[in-house]
Amino acid sequence: MASVGSRSGVAYDARGLVEPHAEMPGNIEIDGVRARFDAADLSIRQINMALRQLIYKDGISDVTVLNPASKHSLAVGILKRCRIHFEGSPGWFACGLIDGPEVTINGRVGWSLGENMMSGVVMVERSAGSLTGAAIRGGDLIVKGDVGARTGIDQKGGTIIVGGSVGINTGFMMQRGRQIICGNAGENLGDSMYDGAIYVAGKVKSLGVDCVPGEWTDADTEFINRKFRVHNLGAPPTFEKFVCGKQLHNYDSLEPSERKLVI
Amino acid sequence: MCGIAGVIHRDGTANIGAELTEMLQAMKHRGPDSTGYAVYGPDDDLVVIRFVLAEPSNSTGFGMEERLARNRLEVEARLAKIGAEVATVTSETGYAFRAKVRYSGELKPLADYLEDVPGCEVLSVGNSLEIIKDLGDAATVSEQYGLGSFHGTHGIGHVRMATESQVDLASAHPYWAYPFADVAVVHNGQLTNYHQWRRRLEQSGHRFQSECDSEIIAVYLAEQLTAGVSLETAMKESLDDFDGVFTYVCVTSNQLGIAKDEMAAKPLVLFESDDLVAVATEEVSIRTLVKREVETRDPYEREVLVWQV
């Protein structure tokens, strides 16, 4: 592998102020369209700078980040199809706002994984903190272990798959999309949800306001089987489906642009 | 915001002063206003009293040096008067003091008597507990108080972002569970029935040094422990008695416990091995202590866990 040297130089933010630690790391190994670097001694800014340089400017489509050491806000806002592998555990806010990347995380993740994710895949081998998939709009977010509270809060699309259990207020005010929970769910599942579906294989501690058991259809079976097959998750367990009772709000399921057409 | 951390070594003592400093410094972004420690050194037959005679911002100025010296002598005189044999009194800052005394009487009259000296606040009293807190980040406070060489079995720490009370020592964590020896609390969150509980506890004879809601937890637990309730039971009952969103860590001379509110709204990550338990608001803090990939988890809502030293 060739080694890319340090691409130093003073960087400025949008206000014209000097950004600290804005020096490209000098330990990046590149092999064709693949690259890897050790993030143990790098700042958050350096790690994200390296990812952006490699993916957007150097034509790299497959990046491995070693030892992220629970640092926050890694791989946020990547808007291009590519593969990113984390060997280790990122901290909070990992992979937020991404649109396209396929991310694998061989470790654990802190709070707010994949917040506002638009498309792509994030696969976590271990557990994740609270607010996983908050306001996710698209793509597949898979956590093989347990997840904390408020999973998929304000979810607007996409699919969240949890191999273990989830905490309180999962699916709170979710508007679209699906959640597949293979373990147990905490209190107030689907509280005040507008739409979408939550599938739970284990026990549900309690349902939230206006969340009710839903009617199972062949489409549900097909959907779950396909997701498990695509992501190599093995045979799916038996799930119970929960949906919005549609008693709480006077609403419809149209997007604002669609509503204009109807009106 | 605010960040909390705790560490307990189940296989003996370690340099917990340096460990907590690293853990807290990694969470400086959660609160740079003040930093505090409650650390447990070797237990001996002497009582350690940590007290301050002035806020850092008021510790200098015209006549202040003389006033601090006079009040320090008054504290020593009162210690002698109440029957405490003073072994040493030292100070790293000029306004914060550490006294080692031989004393076997009640702690409440002792603390009340000392706090009657102008400007005096008793931060902690115990056979092994020492509470050290000051303004600034962990590196600053640690250097100021020489915590880099503090050896002990367990401790907790707090970095504070002041939101509902002032940036001063009185509002800095940890809080001693006055007047209960060797008990301290750090907290991240807000208690919304603070005034209700404060009035109730004041009517029971407890004193409050600050307007900070976190102090309620320490005093509440102290009252429960005084009544013979176990730490774990007291912490579980606190989840019903307190409204709001909170996560807190409580330590005694031989225990460390965590409690999360019913909404699990405030973060806490837990790492546990045969010889070490570490908790922190963020995993990046634990990674300063265990410098490898570790298996951690977020405790769920209403979860109370207590470990023995």
Q: Which range, of A91-95, B4-8, B117-121, B205-209, averages the lowest pLDDT? A: B205-209
pLDDT for the residue B50: 96
Confidence of residue B74 (pLDDT cuts 50, 70, 90): very high
Give per-residue pLDDT as tens, B155-201.
999 999 887 778 888 889 999 988 888 889 999 999 999 999 999 99
Q: Is the confidence at residue A172, as pLDDT, over 90?
A: yes
List the one residue out of A184, A155, A157, A185 whose CA is nearest residue A172: A155
% of chain B beyond a pLDDT of 90: 75
- The nearest alpha carbon in chain A to B284 belongs to A70
Give per-residue pLDDT as tens, B122-160.
999 999 999 999 999 999 999 999 999 999 999 999 999
pLDDT for the residue B57: 84
pLDDT for the residue B42: 86
pLDDT for the residue B179: 82
Which chain B residues have a beta carbon less than 8 Å from that of A129?
267, 269, 298
Give per-residue pLDDT as tens, A10-66.
566 667 666 676 788 989 999 999 999 999 999 999 999 999 999 999 999 999 999
Give residue B165's region: left, alpha or beta (phi > 0; psi -120 to 50): beta
Cis peptide before A20 (omega within 30 of 0): no
pLDDT for the residue B204: 87
Chain B residues 244-263 with a CB less than 8 Å from chain A: 262-263
CA distance A172 to A196: 11
Give per-residue pLDDT as tens, A92-136.
999 999 999 999 999 999 999 999 999 999 999 999 999 999 999
CA distance A161 to A31: 33
- The nearest alpha carbon in chain A to B265 belongs to A149
Any A CB within 8 A of B264 CB: yes
- Quote the mean pLDDT of chain A: 91
pLDDT for the residue B170: 85
CA angle A109-A112-A113, nearest 5°? 50
Any A CB within 8 A of B9 CB: no
Kind of pairing, strands A28-31 and A2-4? antiparallel
CA distance B279 to B210: 26
pLDDT for the residue A18: 65
**What is the identity of the amino acid at B302?**
R
CA distance B110 to B99: 13
- pTM for the structure as a whole: 0.89
Q: What is the CATH code of the structural domain delimited by B3-43+128-308?
A: 3.60.20.10
- Is the complex ipTM more than 0.85? no
The number of helix segments (H) and strand segments (E) in chain B equals 8, 16
DSSP B190-222: EETTHHHHHHHHHHTT---S-S-THHHHHHHHH
List the one residue out of B193, B154, B194 whose CA is nearest residue B174: B154
Mean pLDDT of A219-235: 98
Mean pLDDT of B257-281: 94
% of chain A beyond a pLDDT of 70: 89
Q: Is the confidence at residue A68, as pLDDT, over 60?
A: yes
Given B264, B283, B301, which is nearest A110 (Cβ)?
A: B283
Asked whether A199 and A241 are in contact (CB, 8 A), the reply is yes
pLDDT for the residue B137: 94
pLDDT for the residue B11: 84
pLDDT for the residue A6: 39
Which chain B residues have a beta carbon less than 8 Å from that of A91?
282-284
Which chain B residues have a beta carbon less than 8 Å from that of A89?
283, 293
% of chain B beyond a pLDDT of 70: 100
pLDDT for the residue A235: 97
Mean pLDDT of B57-77: 91
Specify whether B212 is catalytic: no
Mean pLDDT of B62-67: 90
Helix (H, G, I), strand (E, B) or coil at B287: helix
Contact: A111, B267; criterion CB under 8 Å: yes
C-alpha dist (Å) from residue A141 to A103, A230, A244, B68, B303: 9, 13, 22, 60, 26
pLDDT for the residue A249: 56
Q: Following CA atoms B233, B236, B237, B242 in sequence, which dihedral angle do they give, to the nearest 10 degrees?
A: 150
pLDDT for the residue A250: 54
Confidence of residue A2 (pLDDT cuts 50, 70, 90): very low
- Quote the mean pLDDT of chain B: 92
Buried b (16+ CB within 10 A) or exposed e, A92-124: bbbbbbbbebbbbbebbbbbbbbbbbbbbbbbb
Cis peptide before B174 (omega within 30 of 0): yes
pLDDT for the residue A9: 53
